[in-house]
Amino acid sequence: MTLSADCSSCFGLCCVALPFSASADFAVDKAAGTPCTNLRHDFRCGIHAQLRERGFAGCTVFDCFGAGQQVSQVTFGGRDWRQDPAAARRMFAVFPVMRQLHELLYYLTEAAALPAAAPIRERLRTALKDTERLTGTGPDELAALDVGAVRAGVNELLLRASELARAEVPGRKKNHRGADLIGAKLKGANLRGASLRGAYLIGADLRAADLRAADLIGADFRGADLRGADLTGSIFLTQAQLNAAKGDAATKLPAPLTRPAHWVSAGTSSAGSAARC
């Protein structure tokens, strides 16, 4: 099972099933179950190369973790919601559930690979198998699934894996779990091994900050400045979080994550960075 989005195998589910409101992230309002006006007949985005410029930055930071093609090709056997309207409502209801399951699979896969997680590796692998089994159930079972309960059980394991990994970092670690750090001045901050789980870092200045081995699961990096920051070995960081932030060639990233195309080059002035991002 792949945990990366393959839009060529999906029927544009994220562009139809999910709602969004006019804001800095989206140029217009769209109700759940209503196709985005930019969705083409081949299920591709008509403005994909200009999403940020056209006011749809929110689309560039969304990641279904492969749930789209799973629902399209496996759960519904390749049935096109346009050609099979009877299945459309069920498909749109199942997609958000599948997306959460695939996100959990992504985190569990990373946790199981952490050397420090050896004491709970078998439990992590069992959770992986159980969660993957759920993704293969039928649409009715998925729609009725208490995904919140599944998340709660998995999150307990993920938290333990994080604690084991961060315990290897010497010294006292900062705990900013769920903290409101919107616009915080954290330039050069020592956040190595810190917990930033679910922290609000919108617009935060994290230039040259040390985020090595920090737990970043669910942290909101929208507009955060990561230029020159070191995220080597950070835990549970996703590509979508990076896509939401600002950075440059000096930002150090953990493999296999990649530098977003909109990030500026090292050496670009702060004024230039603000104008381009």
Which CATH number characterizes residue 183's domain? 2.160.20.80
pLDDT surpasses 90 at 264: no
Is residue 1 one of the residues assigned to a domain? no
d(CA 118, CA 165): 10
Q: Domain for residue 75, yes or no?
A: yes
Q: Total domain count for the chain?
A: 2
At residue 265, the pLDDT reads 60
Give yes or no for residue 229 having a pLDDT over 90. yes
Q: Are residues 85 and 110 in the same domain?
A: yes
In this prediction, residue 14 carries a pLDDT of 96
pLDDT number for residue 66: 97
Residues 128 and 222 in one domain: no
Position 277 in a domain: no
Examine residue 260 and state whether it is found in any structural domain, yes or no.
Answer: yes
Share of the chain above pLDDT 90, in %: 89
What domain range is 54 assigned to?
7-166
What pLDDT, in 10s, does the model give residues 15-37?
Answer: 999 999 999 899 999 999 999 99
DSSP-derived secondary structure letter, 48: G
Same domain, 68 and 179: no
DSSP state of 70: I
Distance (Å, whole) CA 69 – CA 76: 10
Of residues 49 and 122, more confidently modeled = 122
Same domain, 132 and 195: no
Residues 267 and 182 occupy one common structural domain:
yes
Same domain, 39 and 144: yes
| 114 plus 225 within the same structural domain | no
Residue 129 lies in a domain: yes
Pair 142, 195 in one domain: no
Q: Which of 111, 146, 166 is the last residue of a domain?
A: 166
Q: Give the tens place of pLDDT for each residue, 124-152.
A: 999 999 999 999 999 999 999 999 999 99
Mapping DSSP to helix (H, G, I), strand (E, B) and coil, where does residue 43 land? Answer: coil
Q: What is the mean pLDDT of residues 89-111?
A: 97
155 and 220 co-located in one domain: no
Both tokens assigned to 142: 């998925």
Boundary (domain end) residue, out of 166, 195, 220: 166
- Do 53 and 149 fall into the same domain? yes
Please check whether residue 153 lies inside any domain of the structure: yes
Q: Give the residue from 123, 150, 166 where a domain finishes.
A: 166
C-alpha neighbours within 13 Å on the C-beta side of residue 217: 23
Q: According to the model, what pLDDT value does residue 231 have?
A: 98
Name 200's bridge partners: 180, 220
Helix (H, G, I), strand (E, B) or coil at 138: coil
Shortest CA distance to 257 belongs to which of 4, 1, 2?
A: 4
**Domain membership flag for residue 253:** yes
Residues 153 and 195 reside in one and the same domain = no
**Is 97 in contact with 147 (CB distance < 8 Å)?**
yes
Residue 122 lies in a domain: yes
Instruction: Identify whether residues 156 and 48 lie together within a single domain.
Output: yes
